[in-house]
Amino acid sequence: MSRTIATMFASTRRLVGDARRAYPPYPLLMWLAVAGTAQAQTPVPAPVQQDLYQEALQSIAEGRKNDASEALTRQIAREPQNAGAWLELALLQCGLGHADEAERLFAAIEQRFNPPQGILDVINEARDQGCQSWQAIRSSTVVFGRGIDQNVNQGALDPHYVVQSTGKEVELSADFKPKHDQYTVLSAEYLREVTPNGSMGFVQFQGRHNDSLTQYNSASLFTGIETPYRFGRWTLRTTGMLGLVSLGGRFYQRQAQLQARIGPPLPLPNSTQFTLMGGITHTQYLTLTNFDANTYELRGQFTYRRDGLFASAAAGYLVDHAREARPGGSRQGWFSNLLVRKNLERGWIGDAAYTRQTWTSDSAYLPGFVDQVRDQVTHVLRATLTYPVKKNQNLQIEARLVRNRENITIFEYNNRQVQLSWQWQTP
């Protein structure tokens, strides 16, 4: 799938982090203070209490405030003496702008539980600030960078090609040989909650201008919405996206994409998660005929997060269905990816990634001229170092190595890129 959607998921994680900070789990403080008294008055089976309360906290962390309110309401109905659920629900209602309901819950907490002074301070602070209407969380990022690209045009690794029909070796023209250039890149991204239940809209732009090879300048604009759901212990995130890509100053592609990411409740070790992602992408080429296609993808991913370390491993199967008489017809392939990101000394963050992508076509590429069935394997190695210059500004250097190997030699190529970027993030 496109790099754009991966970027969007990374930004989504930042936005979820903002939501978690905006709605901290204050009831945990309350629980420590009064849980002993409440449990002594009304014993409640632990599994029921834990499931609903954890479901509510998870909903808050994912920005699904309406779902959290419903879960907490059910928790209180089952366990009227759960002080933490009462306070969490009151703060949620206040954050959603429901001042009358929040005040009713605050008063009930004061009467039912006789909370300690620390919890009274939390309630009084909420009252003093007022229960304003729901405020959407938003985030934006701007990146400016300079880079060196050893093979802007993906020129062939071997400058010679043997025509199968005649057995004659010909030398490729200059347009098919690797071209080196430097470039400037500018990208911008904006995300905003569009509902109190965690749906987020996003807009992303990226433009690249080569110093000399301007015919390979590119730009892309994508917009879409992502919506989270929860069904018991199962989670679901759906994403719809539309995009437009230009190449050499002309509109080149239109894209439409639908994705769904499912999180099943598997018995995994702490800090480990598994998600299953399925998606379909429709690509329309505006300057080429017979290249429109629909790509279907099914991918599984394990992730691990703990103590400044993030690691992921993903693998998936793809089908690229040609809608018309595309050279080589439809194709199938496999995708795998490994990523490790770690906090280093003095604020540095380092990450390294490896990606392997294979494609095998259904038929000969160009019968009578290129009778081979195209078989492609692409390896990508990437390493990045990021340094936080200020609170919302980062300096990043990235190195990328590409090795594309194919049985049709004219398509084989190598590439190396190095890019230095400055990133601004708000808020």
Residue with tokens 């936080």: 388
- Amino acid 33 reads A
Residue with tokens 């719809």: 240
pLDDT of the residue at 381 = 98
Closest to 38 measured CA to CA, from 89, 73, 85? 85
pLDDT of the residue at 164 = 67
Residue 348 tokens read as 């540095």
Residue 148 tokens read as 């060196």
Cα distance between residue 71 and residue 75, in whole Å: 6
- Coil vs helix vs strand at 409: helix
Query: Cα torsion at 2, 384, 355, 153 (round to 10°)?
Result: 60
pLDDT of the residue at 200 = 94
Beta 168-171 vs 181-193: how paired, if at all?
Answer: unpaired
Cα distance between residue 155 and residue 161, in whole Å: 13
Q: Which stretches of the chain drop beneath a pLDDT of 70?
A: 1-51, 164-165
174 and 132 Cβ atoms separated by less than 8 Å: no
222 and 240 Cβ atoms separated by less than 8 Å: no
pLDDT of the residue at 359 = 98
> What's the whole-model pTM score?
0.78
Cα distance between residue 171 and residue 179, in whole Å: 16
Residue 1 tokens read as 């799938």
- Coil vs helix vs strand at 87: helix
Cα distance between residue 355 and residue 370, in whole Å: 28
pLDDT of the residue at 118 = 87
pLDDT of the residue at 242 = 98
- Coil vs helix vs strand at 29: helix
Residue with tokens 């982090």: 17
pLDDT of the residue at 3 = 43
pLDDT of the residue at 277 = 97
Cα distance between residue 89 and residue 91, in whole Å: 5
The CA angle 143-144-147, to the nearest 5 degrees, is 120
Query: Cα torsion at 317, 383, 245, 192 (round to 10°)?
Result: 90
